[in-house]
Structure 1
């Protein structure tokens, strides 16, 4: 697994434009874009992934805009629900304290420690 690049930009209406680019095993890249619609709950957004055919309930758990964002997403596809936690950083280097915060949050949301990975730098 390799790191990708994600951009999250707020829209004038309070929604969130999300753009993610990742590298395939053959070196080519693929990109997804989503418009995450704001909800009545601050920091909570919903969107449909056309690529994965899933409904996504995304929450911004913690953020320091110049450093990181911790995102918790509940994905539902064909009636099956999965939890996905992501730690986004502005740089490939992430402090040990922030990695520990991510690990603890993941454990607290029911993810087994063996299923938590900090990706290596490309």
Structure 2
């Protein structure tokens, strides 16, 4: 994951310390999506999270509940070039309050200026403030679990 954009307060408080992480998005036989994330912490430990996102009747749209954050997630793949990148728009709802989170996934740590601009424009079009759009610095990968 190379790009992250949200007006959520937790992100505003932590964006200066966030770094790239590894995400695996793997379709299941039934059309759902296995999501797994890993991020190497400064102390050498790994933060990991997994979800099974259920397909909906809308192509490219999945839903899941995060037990870690106790929120419901409505995730949409907005733009995908399968061998390059995916731009994902998620609406997270917890206790009746919704937040928008946009993520830019890339197969490489570097993304083109054009793709960065596409992510910035999309994020601003979805109501995210320019200061809350970040391209995360590189990070080492977590060792295999």
TM range, smaller chain? over 0.9
Q: CA deviation at 1:27?
A: 2.1
Q: Which residue matches 2:106?
A: 89
- Determine whether 1:39 maps to 2:56: yes
**Which one of the candidate residues 66, 70, 77 is aligned to 1:49?**
66
Q: Give runs of ≥4 in structure 1 deviating > 6 Å.
A: none
Please give the alpha-carbon distance, in whole angstroms, between the structure 1 residues aligned to 2:23 and 2:59.
21
TM-score, normalization by structure 1 = 0.97
Question: Aligned partners of 1:70 and 1:27: how far apart in 2?
Answer: 29
Higher relative contact order (CA 8 A, sep 6+): 2
d(CA) in 2 for partners of 1:81, 1:64 = 28
Tell me which of 118, 131, 141 is aligned to 1:114.
Answer: 131
User: Whole-Å Cα distance in 1 between the matches of residues 47 and 125 of structure 2?
Assistant: 32
Structure with the higher fraction of residues in helix conformation: 2
Matched, 1:26 2:43: yes
How far, CA to CA, are the matches of 1:25 and 1:80 in structure 2? 31
1:49-74 deviation digits (Å, cap 9, x = unpaired): 01111100000000011000000000
Structure 1 counterpart SS, 2:135:
coil
Residues 18-55 of structure 1: per-residue CA shift (max 9 Å, x gap): 00011223221011110000000000000000111110
Aligned equivalent of 2:116: 99
Query: Which residue of structure 1 aligns with residue 25 of structure 2?
Result: 8
Q: Counterparts of 1:26 and 1:56 in 2: how far apart (Å)?
A: 29
RMSD in angstroms over aligned alpha carbons?
A: 0.7
TM-score (norm 2): 0.82
The change in CA–CA distance for 1:25 and 1:71 in structure 2 (over 3 A counts) is same
- Partner Cα separation in structure 1 for residue 126 and residue 20 of structure 2: 23
